[in-house]
Amino acid sequence: MLDLSPWAYIAITLLLTHVTVAATTIFLHRHQAHRAVELHPVASHFFRFWLWLTTGTVTREWVAVHRKHHAHCETEDDPHSPQVKGISTVVFKGARLYVHEARKAETLEDFGKGTPDDWIEKNLYTRFRNVGLILMALIDVLLFGWVGLLIYAVQIVWIPFWAAGIINGVGHYWGYRSFETDDASRNIVPVGLIMGGEELHNNHHAYRQSARFSNKWWELDIGWLYIRLLERLGVADVKRTAPRTDFVAKDIVDIATVKAVLRNRYHVLKLYGTKVIAPVLRNELRGKQPRNHLRRLRKWLVREDLELSGAEHAAVDEMLSANQVVRSVVDFKEQLKALMQPTVGKSGRAARLQEWCTNAEATGIDALREFAMQLRGYSVRDA
């Protein structure tokens, strides 16, 4: 029915796959899996229909597998951790791992609650999950002729490769970390276009119930821009976003400081690594350690997701035994982590955090003293 130029076919293919990406990140991920945004039934059902048409995805299955990933991240029970299963397995066989986990009745029962369970879900989207794919193939061929088969092939592999392979694989293996989460999540790139913002994976793991994945001013989450547009149109309602942090001048730690620190403990740990551990290592060990070994020491002392081998533990212990200043900043980090544990009693926590700041300032270590002074004024501002 349509006779277009090659560039037009490419543009249409990218548009069709991008709508699928938007449906995945907005509907399946941010709305259904984490309830960070609520959608009007019109928008919600459009996304459900489009995903059935282009991917054959069953909402309950996708949500259950993703929630289990968060609940058991980087363990044997994680459906798709490259730290456990290997990066090549997740990148190239990610779709197979998803299907294997989605077929487990206990996964659906434990993690699939609250997903659509209406008549059309039971009698069409779940019962005839592959009919949508067949219908999409017929539409592509009808509109574009034999080129439609190529467009359809791209549509079929797009989400399995980028979402199941790249985001689940590379997103836990390579990139930069804005937050010291206790998993291996990484931001692949600061511009989330191809997968609608899912590229900012470490940000998501730090604030999994946030509708906005971007955190730094220079990060772009196009999925968040779409949500704001839907909000303007009256078909979306944002429930939660990650808090914006700030520093204000304070002499003592108060309840507001404690709440901000607890709510943003991954950010606090990242700040401690960059503002305390890194400069102290540079000042204390420059010229005494090879540069590559210094980088490894920093990684071992900063990263929260690493489990050190026996040799690595020995190297760290040797360095700590030889340098009291480095040992002090590591000990203060462990004390701070203990104060931020959710299981620690709330009573008197402000006083204990104030004591930590006072003791840190009294060490005479410049980087630690400056960090403690900043921490007293740690606060959350309106997003």
Q: What pLDDT, on the 0 to 100 scale, is given for residue 348?
A: 85
How is 319-330 classified by DSSP, letter by letter? HHHH-HHHHHHH
346-351 long-range contacts, CB within 8 A, separation 24+: 349/258, 350/253, 350/254, 350/255, 350/257, 350/258, 351/253
- Distance from C-alpha of 273 to C-alpha of 70, rounded to nearest angstrom: 24
Q: What pLDDT, on the 0 to 100 scale, is given for residue 88?
A: 97
Q: What pLDDT, on the 0 to 100 scale, is given for residue 261?
A: 94
Q: Among 338, 266, 329, 267, which residue's Cα sits nearest to residue 298?
A: 329
Q: What pLDDT, on the 0 to 100 scale, is given for residue 158?
A: 95
Q: What pLDDT, on the 0 to 100 scale, is given for residue 382?
A: 62
Provide the token pair at 210.
Answer: 């946030």
pTM for this entry: 0.93
- Distance from C-alpha of 91 to C-alpha of 109, rounded to nearest angstrom: 27
Q: What pLDDT, on the 0 to 100 scale, is given for residue 343?
A: 67
- Distance from C-alpha of 111 to C-alpha of 134, rounded to nearest angstrom: 29
Strand partners, 238: 37
All residues at 6 or more sequence positions from 5 whose CB lies less than 8 Å from its CB, including other chains:
none
- Distance from C-alpha of 331 to C-alpha of 9, rounded to nearest angstrom: 60
- Distance from C-alpha of 275 to C-alpha of 272, rounded to nearest angstrom: 5
Per-residue tens of pLDDT for the chain, all 383 residues: 778 899 999 999 999 999 999 999 999 999 999 999 999 999 999 999 999 999 999 999 999 999 999 999 999 999 999 999 999 999 999 999 999 999 999 999 999 999 999 999 999 999 999 999 999 999 999 999 999 999 999 999 999 999 999 999 999 999 999 999 999 999 999 999 999 999 999 999 999 999 999 999 999 999 999 999 999 999 999 999 999 888 988 888 999 999 999 999 999 999 999 999 999 999 998 877 777 888 899 999 999 999 899 999 998 999 899 999 999 999 999 999 999 987 666 678 899 999 999 999 999 999 999 999 999 999 987 65
- Are 260 and 378 in contact, with CB atoms under 8 Å apart? yes
- Are 57 and 51 in contact, with CB atoms under 8 Å apart? yes
Q: What pLDDT, on the 0 to 100 scale, is given for residue 383?
A: 57
How is 166-225 classified by DSSP, letter by letter? IIHHGGGTSSB-SS--SS---BS-SEE-TTTTTTBHHHHHHSTT-S----STT-EEHHHH
